[in-house]
Amino acid sequence: MIKILVTDKPSKIPLRLHDVRVCSAIEYLMDFEGEKNETCRVFNLCQSYKYQSRGYYVSLLAEARGHRPIPSVKTLVDIQNVSILNLSSPQLDAMVNKALRQLKSSEFELSIYFGKNMSAQYDKLCGEIYRHFRAPLLRVFLKKQPQGWEIRRVKILSLNDIPETHLPFLQATAHTYFSKQHKNQHMRKALPFTLAILVNPDEENPPSNPRALKNFTASAEKYGFHTEFVTKKDLPRLAEFNALFIRESTLVNHHTYLFSRRAQSEGLVVIDDPESILKCTNKVYLYELLKSLKIPTPRTLIQQKKDIKEIMKHIGLPCVVKIPDSAFSLGVKKAENAEELEAILDSFFQKSELVLVQEYTPTDFDWRVGVLNHRVLFVCKYYMAKGHWQIYNWQGCPSDQSGYTDAIPVEEAPDHVIQAALKSAKAIGRGLYGVDIKELPGNKAIVIEVNDNPSIDAGVEDFLLKHKVYDSIMSFFANEVKQQLGL
């Protein structure tokens, strides 16, 4: 990787750095092309970063050229609105207050040079701020309010803003930073693309188990990706990657959706894309969408108030009641009688303005058809949990919380099931989906739901196809990235 440090006056730069090219802003803007087949990282240290200033255009043209600027244009825009930082990272607020709790003053300024402060006690906080606002030189202005410390303003510094007494520390920090960058590049095995896989190490029921995640990374390397597992704290780093693969359960009012939106806005190839998350995580939307396409679903009522008589008339008992954004069978309950139905509705209406009530359609198993880019990826039978009416029984003992799974060769799956799955998934998008279907007598397939972020566990969904499941997904990522880059 070529590392380029851009400044207004290269002759006056106070840093001496090995393996870093220094050039003027004018030189970079006017005629810098770099070398073919080389990745460039641009460190923008211009005097001004205001809209349409020289520094702004350095980052803007760096992005247009496929270089990776620090700071990015998005950072330059976001830094004008510090509320964006506080909204996207509530954990930062707690970190700020913990770091500054001993201060007696009501105001504080924090200088951050390549993620470090001259006082080591603030290094953890500085690192967290740097992950959000990735700029080489920052100054953060904080103020103590009745509810605690908060960030009032963040300023991206130029070299002229650095006090002379800080220059030795800046030189040492920059040297360490660029040496680490060089080391990390060697560790990446010179792979052309980078893939972020979003995970939550604390999630009890993640979409992929550890062995599947290992298989994903092995397959990704075959298709030219250096892979890095990221967590919710890494949101500001997304611009470093070519693609994002979300392997954490998704919700709209959640950091997974923020990751998807940010990735899409940064031009990354992303699964799951924001539109798929919005569509799949809400069962009201899904029902209306499938109904408009004349795709069979269970008989359904969308309720905005408790109306037992209407439900009894059109659906009957037993029936299934669902909160629109429930996942993994959570927020889904069966009512055997009117008393149970009333209690479930009372509980669910405290959480949602709308609920769905569906006819109860008992089967021994649900079909799960994995679909990627309008093609079938895998087919499984998900059997009901022992002694339960769903495939998950969260109240059961751990060994009986889910039923067993039977992987089926695609060519042996019923055609009416496959066609229903493909038609349903196509209505959502080109991404990765898991379509749940119940098969009824008379070759009738009714679609229960379309899941974004479907489960892919080693030993389950990949039981028959093995590495082909992972290769299909990584091949899709690689083709999409190459198309974006014009390769």
State the residue for tokens 């106070």: 14
* Residue ranges of E strands in 11-80: 21-24, 40-44, 68-70
Cα–Cα distances in Å, from 103 out to 97, 106, 107, 126, 155?
10, 8, 9, 17, 22
Going by their DSSP bridges, the two strands 355-359 and 365-372 should be labelled as unpaired
Query: What pLDDT does residue 329 have?
Result: 55
DSSP 241-309: -SEEEE-S---SSSHHHHHHHHHHHTT-EEES-HHHHHHHT-HHHHHHHHHHTT-----EEEESS--HH
- Please check whether residue 112 is in contact with residue 137, taking contact to mean a CB–CB distance below 8 angstroms: yes
Query: What pLDDT does residue 86 have?
Result: 53
CA–CA dist 286, 115 (Å, integer): 45
Structure tokens at 185: 């590049």
Q: Which residues contact 77 (CB under 8 A, 6 or more apart)?
A: none
CA 372 from centre of chain: 18
94: number of Cβ within 10 Å? 11
Query: What pLDDT does residue 265 have?
Result: 83
200: number of Cβ within 10 Å? 14
CA–CA dist 238, 198 (Å, integer): 10
Query: What pLDDT does residue 152 have?
Result: 87
CA–CA dist 332, 322 (Å, integer): 5
Half-sphere exposure of 317 (CA within 13 A, CB side): 12
pLDDT 10s digits, 360-372:
999 999 999 999 9
CA–CA dist 327, 277 (Å, integer): 12
Q: Class of the 299-360 domain?
A: alpha beta
Going by their DSSP bridges, the two strands 107-113 and 68-70 should be labelled as unpaired
CA–CA dist 203, 375 (Å, integer): 29
Query: What pLDDT does residue 346 have?
Result: 93
Cα–Cα distances in Å, from 462 out to 77, 322, 356?
43, 30, 33
- Measured in Å, how far apart are the chain's first and last C-alpha atoms? 18
User: What value, to the nearest 5°, has the Cα angle with vertex 447 and ends 445 and 451?
Assistant: 140
* DSSP tag of 23: E
Query: What pLDDT does residue 37 have?
Result: 44
In three-state secondary structure terms, 65 is coil
**Identity of residue 79:** I
Could you confirm whether domain 188-272+473-485 is CATH 3.40.50.300? no
DSSP 127-183: HHHHHHS--SEEEEEEEEETTEEEEEEEEEPPGGGS-GGGHHHHHHHHHHHHHHHHH
Cα–Cα distances in Å, from 381 out to 6, 327, 369, 410?
57, 19, 9, 12
Query: What pLDDT does residue 93 have?
Result: 80
Query: What pLDDT does residue 188 have?
Result: 46
CA–CA dist 166, 118 (Å, integer): 8
Digits of tens for pLDDT over the chain (487 positions)? 688 899 988 887 888 777 788 889 998 888 666 554 456 888 999 988 887 788 888 988 888 787 888 888 878 877 776 555 555 456 678 889 899 988 989 999 999 999 999 999 998 899 888 877 889 999 999 999 888 898 888 999 988 889 999 999 999 998 888 876 544 454 444 568 999 999 999 998 899 999 999 999 999 999 999 999 999 988 888 888 999 999 999 988 889 999 999 899 888 999 999 999 999 988 888 999 999 999 999 999 999 888 899 999 999 999 999 988 765 556 889 999 999 999 999 999 988 888 999 999 999 999 999 999 999 999 999 998 877 777 766 565 555 567 789 999 999 999 999 999 999 999 999 999 999 999 999 999 999 999 999 999 999 999 999 999 999 999 999 999 999 887 7
In three-state secondary structure terms, 293 is coil
In three-state secondary structure terms, 305 is coil
Check whether the bond before 272 is cis (ω within 30° of 0).
Answer: yes
pTM (predicted TM-score)? 0.67
CA–CA dist 430, 438 (Å, integer): 23
pLDDT 10s digits, 395-453:
655 555 677 899 999 999 999 999 999 999 999 999 999 999 999 999 999 999 999 99
Structure tokens at 137: 């030189």
- CATH 3.40.50.20 positions along the chain are 188-272+473-485
Structure tokens at 322: 């669902």
